[in-house]
Amino acid sequence: MNASKRKYLILIGIACLAVILALVLRRAETLEEPARRVMASLRTGDAATLLRYAPREEVEMLDLNAEKVEGLWRAAWKPRIGDGEPNGDPEIQPYPVQNALRLTQKWRRSDGSEFITGILLVRSDEGVALDSLTGTIVLNSMISVWDTRQGMPQGAAKLRLIAQEIEDSIGSLSASGLDGFARAQGTNFDLQRVTWQEMVESLRSVAEKADAMERQAQKEGTAGK
């Protein structure tokens, strides 16, 4: 193969890759509209709309319906978000490889406290859905009690905060008709059904392991001096 033909084939290959990448990016970008719709529905408690964006597996796993979604929203979201209002435009982050998009929204309450919520929408052969509807409602609600003007809690502190909020709310969460939620895991967003108490124990277990690793790292750092 002469140099001219090789160069031509390389250019054709690059052009094809560019087209494919553009199509993939376009598919991810089109997730922005439903992401905004979901965030607006979380704000108002529009259970019917939220349910439309629950993964089919989650609906079957939890026998999910609009009544349970509204009950969970009233138990988790409403008492914590309170009179919070969106503070500025949301941040949009596409993930083309996963055919996903994350929308992050800053909020501010009338008392001046601020917090952040985030949702992840994924496009699959079954359509567009959240990685987990129940997880989105619960985890955003629990972390919203932290005033981000003080900085976001990290690592073990964040895990313990969520665990404590869930533990304190098991009664009201269960009154929604749900004894747990669907936890999304891994890059494939695999769903696992977890009871409220199991989630509390899991979070605290991971926090303890994180603390142990940090102590070990500090010990090794001190020994190396």
Burial of residue 139 (CB within 10 Å: 0-12, 13-18, 19+) is: buried
Residue with tokens 């094809």: 16
Residues 6+ apart with CB under 8 A from 113: 147, 149
Within the chain, strands assigned E span 85-86, 91-95, 100-108, 114-124, 127-130, 180-185, 190-195
Task: Confirm if 142 and 196 have CB atoms less than 8 A apart.
Answer: no
Task: Confirm if 77 and 91 have CB atoms less than 8 A apart.
Answer: no
Per-residue pLDDT of 125-168, as tens digits, reads 889 999 999 999 999 999 999 999 988 888 899 999 999 999 99
Indicate if the pLDDT at residue 20 is higher than 90.
no
Model confidence, pTM: 0.81
Per-residue pLDDT of 28-63, as tens digits, reads 448 999 999 999 999 999 999 999 999 999 999 999
One-letter amino acid for residue 192 of the chain? Q
Report the C-alpha gap between 106 and 114 in whole angstroms.
7
Residues 6+ apart with CB under 8 A from 27: 96, 99, 123
What the block records as the tokens of 19 is 């087209």
